[in-house]
Amino acid sequence: MRLYVGNLSFETTENDLEDLFGQYGTVSEVALMMDRMTGRSRGFAFVTMSSPAEGQAAIGALDRREVAGRNLTVNEARPREERSGGGGGGGSRRFDQQRSNTRSSFSRPRR
């Protein structure tokens, strides 16, 4: 069972989570989410327990529990939603320059 663990202290490590959740069963995987730019923790993780019963035991014991000065949020992880094709993009600089050379849509029409 995959669990979402939120409101983590930024100093929390994967080993800390493995030790904490290991009290309630076998931890199969710990994935602490890190910021790509800074290398710091983003304050949440996913912990996979080997069975649903162990996952429920961990949720019951750890949800809203204070760890490292913060009240944890622990619940069953939701499946990741499919991402759509994304936004429209930024356009090209060349196109924007060409467009700025044309008449503004706010100028008076020529007579």
Residue 37 is predicted with a pLDDT of: 95
Alpha-carbon distance of 2 to 28, in angstroms, equals: 9
What ranges do the domains of the chain cover?
Answer: 2-76
38-60 tens-digit pLDDT: 999 999 999 999 999 999 999 99
Residue 81 is predicted with a pLDDT of: 80
CATH superfamily, domain 2-76, is RRM (RNA recognition motif) domain (3.30.70.330)
Q: Of 68, 43, 46, 70, nearest to 58 (Cα)?
A: 46
- Which positions of the chain have pLDDT values less than 50? none
Query: For 23-49, b where at least 16 C-beta lie within 10 A, e where not — what string?
Result: ebbebeebebeeeeeeeebebbbebbb
What token pair was written down for 32?
Answer: 């602490």
C-beta separation of 46 from 3 below 8 A: yes
User: Model pTM greater than 0.75?
Assistant: no
Residue 23 is predicted with a pLDDT of: 98
